Structure 1
Amino acid sequence: MSCDSHMMNPYDGHPALSPLESEVLWEYAKLAQHLNLLTQKTRSLNQLPDNDILPHLRLLEKKMGLVLTLFKASVWGVINEQPPSQGSYNDSNDTTIRH
């Protein structure tokens, strides 16, 4: 079944279907077509040699490392901007042995 989103709904006017049912079936048909296209594209990507994809993945890995570093620095900055809390830690019940 080849359906394009620019085609007319083949379910319109079917005597056994309400207008809503025909629209729902048409949307399912378009969704199935999009999923088939996605499957084809995924298969074509899967068949590409790893050597073609590897440089792009390395670049992405470097960018993600940079994003993680910047995120950690931002969190550290937010933590350091907070005023020290007063009395939030009481070591009177601390039984840790200190030398």
Structure 2
Amino acid sequence: MDDIASKNPYEGNAQLSPLEQDVLWEYAKLNKNVKDLCARLRELSEGPDKDLLVQLRVLERKMGLVMTLFKASWWGHISSVQEAASDPGEDTFADQTITR
């Protein structure tokens, strides 16, 4: 079959009116476009998107760094609170305006 986009395969068919020939030709072109789209989508879905994988790996590294810094900060805060609570000489939570 010749290229469907340039030549109407239904042209000259005595059983079809000119309008029917044009409508069938448009359907044939649409069918070809849908098949091309399906083939391209199949190609894209079969393999991983390399650019997306690279971006996700960078994001994963950054999130790991943020999580590590968050944990270090949190444990630093907990240690300072525990240290302050275990030191009997300093009462950081008491009101300093009251004399005993």
Q: Normalising by the residue count of structure 1, what TM-score does the alignment of the two structures yield?
A: 0.48
- Which has the greater radius of gyration? 2
Q: Greater RCO between the two (CA within 8 Å, min separation 6)?
A: 1
